[in-house]
Amino acid sequence: MKIIITGGAGFIGSHVARHFVLTYPNYQIVNLDALTYAGNLANLKDIETEPNYSFVKGDIRDVSFIDELFVREQPDAVIHLAAESHVDRSISNPTDFVLTNVVGTVNLLNAARAIWGNDGTKRFYHVSTDEVYGALGETGMFTEETKYDPHSPYSASKAGSDHFVRAYHDTYGMNTVISNCSNNYGANHFPEKLIPLAIHNIKNNKPVPVYGKGENIRDWLWVNDHARAIDVIFHKAAPGSTYNIGGHNEWKNIDLIRLLCKIMDKKLGRAEGTSESLITFVKDRAGHDLRYAIDSSKLQRELGWVPSLQFEEGLEKTVDWYLSNEEWLENVTSGAYKDYYEAQYVQR
Protein backbone atom coordinates (compact mmCIF):
# COMPACT_ATOMS: atom_id res chain seq x y z
CA MET A 1 0.00 0.00 0.00
CA LYS A 2 1.26 3.47 -0.88
CA ILE A 3 -0.07 6.37 1.22
CA ILE A 4 0.40 10.07 0.54
CA ILE A 5 0.44 11.88 3.89
CA THR A 6 0.01 15.61 3.37
CA GLY A 7 1.43 18.04 5.92
CA GLY A 8 3.79 15.36 7.21
CA ALA A 9 6.47 17.91 8.13
CA GLY A 10 4.14 19.74 10.51
CA PHE A 11 3.32 19.09 14.15
CA ILE A 12 0.72 16.30 13.98
CA GLY A 13 1.72 15.15 10.50
CA SER A 14 5.27 14.35 11.62
CA HIS A 15 3.97 12.05 14.36
CA VAL A 16 1.51 10.41 11.96
CA ALA A 17 4.20 9.92 9.31
CA ARG A 18 6.65 8.43 11.84
CA HIS A 19 3.94 6.17 13.28
CA PHE A 20 3.02 4.75 9.85
CA VAL A 21 6.63 4.44 8.61
CA LEU A 22 7.75 2.50 11.69
CA THR A 23 4.58 0.49 12.35
CA TYR A 24 4.01 -0.60 8.75
CA PRO A 25 7.35 -1.30 7.04
CA ASN A 26 5.43 -2.85 4.13
CA TYR A 27 3.62 0.44 3.39
CA GLN A 28 5.26 3.15 1.25
CA ILE A 29 4.77 6.56 2.88
CA VAL A 30 5.09 9.66 0.70
CA ASN A 31 5.17 12.87 2.71
CA LEU A 32 3.81 15.77 0.65
CA ASP A 33 4.47 19.13 2.29
CA ALA A 34 5.04 22.71 1.09
CA LEU A 35 7.33 23.43 4.08
CA THR A 36 5.59 26.60 5.15
CA TYR A 37 6.79 28.20 8.40
CA ALA A 38 5.03 25.34 10.26
CA GLY A 39 6.68 22.56 8.23
CA ASN A 40 10.11 21.42 9.33
CA LEU A 41 12.06 18.43 8.03
CA ALA A 42 13.98 18.32 11.31
CA ASN A 43 10.75 16.82 12.73
CA LEU A 44 11.45 13.70 10.64
CA LYS A 45 15.21 13.39 10.87
CA ASP A 46 15.09 9.98 12.54
CA ILE A 47 13.00 8.41 9.74
CA GLU A 48 14.32 10.19 6.65
CA THR A 49 16.51 7.25 5.60
CA GLU A 50 13.88 4.56 6.18
CA PRO A 51 13.39 2.64 2.91
CA ASN A 52 9.59 3.03 3.02
CA TYR A 53 9.68 6.83 3.45
CA SER A 54 10.05 9.59 0.87
CA PHE A 55 9.49 13.34 0.88
CA VAL A 56 8.02 15.50 -1.90
CA LYS A 57 8.03 19.27 -1.55
CA GLY A 58 4.86 20.69 -3.08
CA ASP A 59 1.87 22.92 -2.56
CA ILE A 60 -1.67 21.53 -2.45
CA ARG A 61 -2.90 24.81 -3.96
CA ASP A 62 -1.02 23.98 -7.19
CA VAL A 63 -3.51 21.97 -9.29
CA SER A 64 -1.21 20.79 -12.09
CA PHE A 65 1.53 19.79 -9.64
CA ILE A 66 -0.92 17.79 -7.53
CA ASP A 67 -2.55 16.12 -10.54
CA GLU A 68 0.86 15.07 -11.92
CA LEU A 69 2.04 13.84 -8.54
CA PHE A 70 -1.00 11.56 -8.15
CA VAL A 71 -0.56 10.16 -11.68
CA ARG A 72 3.13 9.53 -11.00
CA GLU A 73 2.84 8.08 -7.50
CA GLN A 74 -0.48 6.19 -7.93
CA PRO A 75 -1.23 6.23 -4.16
CA ASP A 76 -3.72 3.75 -2.69
CA ALA A 77 -4.72 6.19 0.03
CA VAL A 78 -4.35 9.76 1.23
CA ILE A 79 -4.14 10.92 4.84
CA HIS A 80 -4.64 14.66 4.56
CA LEU A 81 -3.26 16.93 7.29
CA ALA A 82 -1.75 19.85 5.34
CA ALA A 83 -3.41 23.06 6.46
CA GLU A 84 -3.01 26.53 7.79
CA SER A 85 -3.67 25.72 11.42
CA HIS A 86 -3.43 28.78 13.66
CA VAL A 87 -6.62 30.62 14.65
CA ASP A 88 -4.88 33.95 15.33
CA ARG A 89 -3.29 33.97 11.87
CA SER A 90 -6.69 33.18 10.34
CA ILE A 91 -8.08 36.32 11.95
CA SER A 92 -5.42 38.51 10.34
CA ASN A 93 -5.30 36.64 7.00
CA PRO A 94 -8.42 34.56 6.29
CA THR A 95 -7.83 34.15 2.54
CA ASP A 96 -4.74 31.95 3.02
CA PHE A 97 -6.93 29.61 5.04
CA VAL A 98 -9.56 29.36 2.31
CA LEU A 99 -6.93 28.68 -0.34
CA THR A 100 -4.99 25.97 1.50
CA ASN A 101 -7.69 24.42 3.66
CA VAL A 102 -10.68 24.51 1.30
CA VAL A 103 -9.31 24.81 -2.24
CA GLY A 104 -6.23 22.69 -1.45
CA THR A 105 -8.47 19.91 -0.09
CA VAL A 106 -10.69 20.02 -3.18
CA ASN A 107 -7.57 19.85 -5.40
CA LEU A 108 -6.51 16.67 -3.59
CA LEU A 109 -10.00 15.16 -3.84
CA ASN A 110 -10.05 15.85 -7.60
CA ALA A 111 -6.57 14.40 -8.13
CA ALA A 112 -7.50 11.27 -6.16
CA ARG A 113 -10.79 10.85 -7.99
CA ALA A 114 -9.06 11.20 -11.36
CA ILE A 115 -6.80 8.20 -10.71
CA TRP A 116 -9.13 6.11 -8.52
CA GLY A 117 -12.38 6.40 -10.48
CA ASN A 118 -14.99 4.27 -8.71
CA ASP A 119 -12.50 2.06 -6.89
CA GLY A 120 -13.98 1.94 -3.39
CA THR A 121 -10.88 0.26 -1.93
CA LYS A 122 -8.92 3.54 -2.21
CA ARG A 123 -9.35 5.71 0.85
CA PHE A 124 -9.24 9.50 1.38
CA TYR A 125 -8.80 10.28 5.10
CA HIS A 126 -9.33 13.91 6.10
CA VAL A 127 -7.90 15.05 9.43
CA SER A 128 -10.02 17.79 10.96
CA THR A 129 -10.73 19.62 14.18
CA ASP A 130 -13.46 19.81 16.82
CA GLU A 131 -13.52 23.58 16.25
CA VAL A 132 -15.95 23.03 13.34
CA TYR A 133 -18.65 22.41 15.97
CA GLY A 134 -18.35 25.93 17.37
CA ALA A 135 -18.26 26.76 21.07
CA LEU A 136 -19.88 25.15 24.12
CA GLY A 137 -21.24 26.82 27.22
CA GLU A 138 -20.49 25.49 30.71
CA THR A 139 -21.91 22.02 29.93
CA GLY A 140 -22.28 19.49 27.11
CA MET A 141 -19.86 17.87 24.69
CA PHE A 142 -19.42 17.71 20.92
CA THR A 143 -20.62 14.43 19.41
CA GLU A 144 -20.46 13.35 15.76
CA GLU A 145 -24.08 14.57 15.46
CA THR A 146 -23.40 18.11 16.72
CA LYS A 147 -24.39 20.69 14.11
CA TYR A 148 -21.47 22.52 12.47
CA ASP A 149 -21.22 26.10 13.77
CA PRO A 150 -17.68 27.41 13.12
CA HIS A 151 -16.79 30.89 14.34
CA SER A 152 -13.19 31.65 13.37
CA PRO A 153 -11.94 31.85 9.78
CA TYR A 154 -9.77 28.80 10.63
CA SER A 155 -12.70 26.69 11.81
CA ALA A 156 -14.89 27.94 8.94
CA SER A 157 -12.23 26.80 6.45
CA LYS A 158 -11.93 23.39 8.13
CA ALA A 159 -15.73 23.06 8.16
CA GLY A 160 -15.75 23.90 4.45
CA SER A 161 -13.16 21.22 3.72
CA ASP A 162 -15.08 18.65 5.81
CA HIS A 163 -18.23 19.41 3.79
CA PHE A 164 -16.37 18.92 0.50
CA VAL A 165 -14.94 15.58 1.67
CA ARG A 166 -18.45 14.39 2.64
CA ALA A 167 -19.83 15.70 -0.64
CA TYR A 168 -17.29 13.58 -2.59
CA HIS A 169 -18.51 10.52 -0.69
CA ASP A 170 -22.19 11.32 -1.17
CA THR A 171 -21.90 12.47 -4.80
CA TYR A 172 -19.14 10.34 -6.31
CA GLY A 173 -19.10 7.41 -3.87
CA MET A 174 -15.51 8.15 -2.83
CA ASN A 175 -14.30 6.13 0.17
CA THR A 176 -13.76 9.03 2.58
CA VAL A 177 -13.28 9.19 6.34
CA ILE A 178 -13.13 12.27 8.57
CA SER A 179 -11.92 12.60 12.15
CA ASN A 180 -12.43 15.69 14.30
CA CYS A 181 -9.90 15.96 17.09
CA SER A 182 -9.51 18.23 20.11
CA ASN A 183 -6.40 20.34 20.87
CA ASN A 184 -3.14 18.40 20.58
CA TYR A 185 0.06 18.89 22.55
CA GLY A 186 3.52 17.31 22.37
CA ALA A 187 6.86 17.50 20.56
CA ASN A 188 7.41 19.40 17.25
CA HIS A 189 4.69 22.00 17.93
CA PHE A 190 5.45 25.42 16.45
CA PRO A 191 5.69 27.89 19.35
CA GLU A 192 2.77 30.01 18.22
CA LYS A 193 0.27 27.69 19.95
CA LEU A 194 -0.40 28.03 23.66
CA ILE A 195 1.68 25.22 25.19
CA PRO A 196 4.95 25.47 23.19
CA LEU A 197 4.74 29.29 23.23
CA ALA A 198 4.40 29.30 27.02
CA ILE A 199 7.28 26.81 27.43
CA HIS A 200 9.50 28.92 25.16
CA ASN A 201 8.64 32.16 26.93
CA ILE A 202 8.98 30.78 30.45
CA LYS A 203 12.37 29.33 29.54
CA ASN A 204 13.49 32.75 28.28
CA ASN A 205 11.91 34.74 31.13
CA LYS A 206 9.50 36.44 28.74
CA PRO A 207 5.85 37.31 29.46
CA VAL A 208 3.38 34.45 29.00
CA PRO A 209 0.36 36.00 27.26
CA VAL A 210 -2.99 34.74 28.54
CA TYR A 211 -5.91 35.94 26.42
CA GLY A 212 -8.75 37.64 28.29
CA LYS A 213 -9.11 36.23 31.80
CA GLY A 214 -7.76 32.79 30.89
CA GLU A 215 -11.20 31.27 31.45
CA ASN A 216 -11.54 29.59 28.06
CA ILE A 217 -11.48 25.82 28.18
CA ARG A 218 -9.74 23.43 25.79
CA ASP A 219 -9.72 19.63 25.76
CA TRP A 220 -6.10 18.42 25.37
CA LEU A 221 -4.83 15.22 23.77
CA TRP A 222 -1.26 13.95 23.49
CA VAL A 223 -0.30 14.09 19.80
CA ASN A 224 0.97 10.48 19.75
CA ASP A 225 -2.47 9.32 20.92
CA HIS A 226 -3.98 11.26 18.00
CA ALA A 227 -1.60 9.44 15.63
CA ARG A 228 -2.70 6.08 17.09
CA ALA A 229 -6.35 7.04 16.68
CA ILE A 230 -5.75 7.97 13.03
CA ASP A 231 -4.16 4.54 12.48
CA VAL A 232 -7.20 2.73 13.91
CA ILE A 233 -9.72 4.86 12.03
CA PHE A 234 -7.76 4.64 8.78
CA HIS A 235 -7.79 0.85 8.93
CA LYS A 236 -11.22 0.13 10.45
CA ALA A 237 -13.73 2.92 9.79
CA ALA A 238 -16.59 2.43 7.33
CA PRO A 239 -16.55 4.53 4.15
CA GLY A 240 -18.24 7.90 4.66
CA SER A 241 -17.93 7.75 8.46
CA THR A 242 -16.81 10.36 10.97
CA TYR A 243 -15.12 9.92 14.36
CA ASN A 244 -14.44 12.38 17.14
CA ILE A 245 -11.07 12.02 18.87
CA GLY A 246 -10.34 13.36 22.35
CA GLY A 247 -9.06 12.37 25.74
CA HIS A 248 -11.73 13.72 28.12
CA ASN A 249 -9.24 16.22 29.41
CA GLU A 250 -10.65 19.74 29.81
CA TRP A 251 -8.49 22.52 31.19
CA LYS A 252 -9.16 26.20 31.78
CA ASN A 253 -6.27 28.04 30.08
CA ILE A 254 -5.16 29.75 33.28
CA ASP A 255 -5.12 26.48 35.25
CA LEU A 256 -3.13 24.79 32.50
CA ILE A 257 -0.59 27.64 32.43
CA ARG A 258 -0.25 27.54 36.22
CA LEU A 259 0.43 23.79 36.09
CA LEU A 260 2.96 24.35 33.31
CA CYS A 261 4.67 27.06 35.39
CA LYS A 262 4.98 24.62 38.31
CA ILE A 263 6.52 21.96 36.07
CA MET A 264 8.91 24.51 34.53
CA ASP A 265 10.02 25.79 37.96
CA LYS A 266 10.83 22.22 38.96
CA LYS A 267 12.65 21.38 35.71
CA LEU A 268 14.63 24.63 35.62
CA GLY A 269 15.49 24.51 39.32
CA ARG A 270 13.70 27.79 39.97
CA ALA A 271 11.96 28.74 43.21
CA GLU A 272 8.24 27.84 43.10
CA GLY A 273 6.23 30.83 41.81
CA THR A 274 9.03 32.26 39.64
CA SER A 275 7.45 31.24 36.33
CA GLU A 276 3.93 32.22 37.43
CA SER A 277 5.10 35.81 37.80
CA LEU A 278 5.54 35.86 33.99
CA ILE A 279 1.79 35.37 33.38
CA THR A 280 0.46 38.46 31.61
CA PHE A 281 -3.22 38.94 30.83
CA VAL A 282 -3.59 40.45 27.36
CA LYS A 283 -6.40 41.57 25.07
CA ASP A 284 -8.72 38.70 24.22
CA ARG A 285 -8.84 36.97 20.83
CA ALA A 286 -11.73 38.23 18.63
CA GLY A 287 -14.62 35.75 18.66
CA HIS A 288 -12.77 33.57 21.17
CA ASP A 289 -14.65 30.26 21.57
CA LEU A 290 -15.38 29.73 25.27
CA ARG A 291 -15.17 25.98 25.59
CA TYR A 292 -14.40 22.85 23.57
CA ALA A 293 -15.10 19.36 24.94
CA ILE A 294 -15.21 16.28 22.80
CA ASP A 295 -17.15 13.07 23.25
CA SER A 296 -15.04 10.33 21.66
CA SER A 297 -17.13 7.43 22.99
CA LYS A 298 -17.99 6.28 19.44
CA LEU A 299 -14.29 5.76 18.69
CA GLN A 300 -13.72 4.01 22.02
CA ARG A 301 -16.83 1.81 21.70
CA GLU A 302 -16.61 0.87 18.01
CA LEU A 303 -12.88 0.79 17.33
CA GLY A 304 -11.43 0.20 20.80
CA TRP A 305 -9.11 3.23 20.92
CA VAL A 306 -8.25 4.73 24.31
CA PRO A 307 -5.73 7.48 25.10
CA SER A 308 -2.52 6.15 26.62
CA LEU A 309 -1.31 9.10 28.69
CA GLN A 310 -2.63 11.13 31.61
CA PHE A 311 -2.28 14.88 31.02
CA GLU A 312 0.15 15.67 33.86
CA GLU A 313 2.49 12.93 32.64
CA GLY A 314 2.14 14.03 29.00
CA LEU A 315 2.76 17.68 29.85
CA GLU A 316 5.90 16.80 31.79
CA LYS A 317 7.14 14.64 28.90
CA THR A 318 6.43 17.56 26.56
CA VAL A 319 8.38 20.03 28.71
CA ASP A 320 11.28 17.54 28.83
CA TRP A 321 11.25 17.33 25.03
CA TYR A 322 11.43 21.12 24.54
CA LEU A 323 14.12 21.51 27.18
CA SER A 324 16.26 18.81 25.65
CA ASN A 325 15.68 20.07 22.09
CA GLU A 326 16.82 23.65 22.59
CA GLU A 327 18.32 23.75 19.11
CA TRP A 328 14.96 22.89 17.53
CA LEU A 329 13.27 25.67 19.49
CA GLU A 330 16.05 28.15 18.64
CA ASN A 331 15.88 27.25 14.94
CA VAL A 332 12.13 27.72 14.60
CA THR A 333 12.19 31.10 16.32
CA SER A 334 15.12 32.53 14.35
CA GLY A 335 16.53 32.72 10.82
CA ALA A 336 13.96 32.02 8.11
CA TYR A 337 11.29 31.38 10.75
CA LYS A 338 11.82 34.63 12.66
CA ASP A 339 9.22 36.72 10.82
CA TYR A 340 6.61 34.01 11.24
CA TYR A 341 7.47 33.51 14.87
CA GLU A 342 7.22 37.20 15.62
CA ALA A 343 4.06 37.60 13.50
CA GLN A 344 2.27 35.42 16.03
CA TYR A 345 1.62 38.60 17.95
CA VAL A 346 -0.84 39.51 15.22
CA GLN A 347 -3.97 41.49 15.77
CA ARG A 348 -6.49 39.32 17.54
**Binding residues vs ligand TYD (CB under 6 A):** 87, 183, 193-194, 197, 209-211, 216, 218, 253, 285
Residue 181 touches which member of ligand NAD, ligand TYD, none, C-beta under 5-8 Å by kind: ligand NAD
Q: What does the alpha-carbon distance between residue 83 and residue 85 come to, in Å, rounded to a whole number? A: 6
Q: What does the alpha-carbon distance between residue 301 and residue 49 come to, in Å, rounded to a whole number? A: 37
Which one from 33, 59, 84, 130 is the annotated catalytic residue?
A: 130
Min dist CB 70 to ligand TYD, Å, is 30
Residue 235: count of CB within 10 angstroms of its CB:
10
Beta-strand relationship, 77-80 and 2-6: parallel
CB of 61 closer than 8 Å to CB of 37: no
The residues, ordered by sequence, that sit 6+ positions from 204 with a Cβ below 8 Å of its Cβ are: none
CA 231, 234, 237, 240 torsion: positive or negative? positive
Please state the separation of Cα 161 from the chain's center in Å.
15
Min dist CB 35 to ligand NAD, Å, is 5
- Looking at the Cβ atoms of 8 and 209, the one nearer to ligand NAD is 8
Length of the chain: 348
* The binder of ligand NAD chosen from 90, 129, 253, 318 (CB under 6 A): 129
* The binder of ligand NAD chosen from 176, 183, 201, 216 (CB under 6 A): 183
Q: Would residue 316 show up in a list of annotated catalytic residues for this protein?
A: no
Min dist CB 179 to ligand NAD, Å, is 8
The residues in 3-42 that bind ligand NAD, with binding defined as CB under 6 A, are 7, 9-13, 33-36, 38-39
Q: Would residue 302 show up in a list of annotated catalytic residues for this protein?
A: no
Q: Does 107 bind ligand NAD (CB under 6 A)?
A: no
CB of 180 closer than 8 Å to CB of 244: yes
Beta-strand relationship, 77-80 and 123-129: parallel
Q: Would residue 154 show up in a list of annotated catalytic residues for this protein?
A: yes
Q: Which active-site residues does the annotation give?
A: 130-131, 154
Which positions touch ligand NAD (CB under 6 A)?
Answer: 7, 9-13, 33-36, 38-39, 59-61, 81-85, 100, 104, 127-129, 158, 181, 183-184, 190
